[in-house]
Amino acid sequence: MSLADRVKSRRNLLGLTQTEAADKAGIRQQSWASIEDGKTKKPRNIISIAKALECDAGWLMTGDNIQPVSEVNTRKIPLISYVQAGNLAHSIPITDCDGSFEYILTDQDLSQDAFALRIQGDSMEPDFKSGDIVVIDPEIAPNPGEFVVASNGDNEATFKKYRPTHIHIDGTEHFELVPLNDDYPILDSEKGSLIIIGTMIEHRIYRRKR
């Protein structure tokens, strides 16, 4: 399969016309047609073309065994702020949150409302350090000892260990949110407004500078 074949195949798979694909890549339709006709062997805009086709530029050029992103079982989830995560307790969709956010890729089987959060501070050390990323799924109810993101009554969310304590006579479950760092206080749902937003299903640790 040639470059022309790979480009055309990816475009058709995404259901794009040549004009639509060219617009996404920021080039003219005639330039795109020249690639698919095999007249352009080494396009200068290969990075933007690959981005438009949602695949790897190296794979487009050489056909090496690098799978396009959409052919791998991956999806993008938003990496949001603590304030944006806190809004989720009030049923505000992530897409309606103020400000922009990055995305990360995951191969986990997650709900559509899943999101990622970058750890801030040292309240969850030594297991979770500032800069680590946790992936949260709001549709998964936590088990005792699991880690959760919750609204603490302020405008921001908090990331803590979940520890149920008892069930009230009216059926309300009370719980504590426990920091792993003993220098920080335990949050009690009977003493403050705490709402569980979601449960951690993945923890990503990145190389740290010494």
**Domain limits, CATH 2.10.109.10, in the chain:** 75-204
> What are phi and psi for residue 36, nearest 5 degrees?
-70, -25
**pLDDT tens per residue across span 85-136:** 888 876 656 654 445 668 888 878 888 889 999 999 999 999 999 999 999 9
pTM of the predicted structure, to 2 decimals = 0.63
**Domain limits, CATH 1.10.260.40, in the chain:** 3-70
Residues of the chain with pLDDT under 70: 65-74, 90-101, 154, 207-210
Q: What is the DSSP string of 45-88?
A: THHHHHHHTTS-HHHHHH--S---GGGSS-EEEEEE-HHHHHHG
Q: Helices 18-25 and 3-14 meet at what angle, rounded to 10?
A: 100
Q: Both tokens of residue 49?
A: 């073309």
Region 3-70: CATH code: 1.10.260.40
Pick the CATH number of 75-204 from 1.10.3720.10, 4.10.320.10, 3.40.718.10, 2.10.109.10: 2.10.109.10
How much is the pLDDT for 58?
Answer: 83
Q: How far apart are CA 106 and CA 24, in angstroms?
A: 24
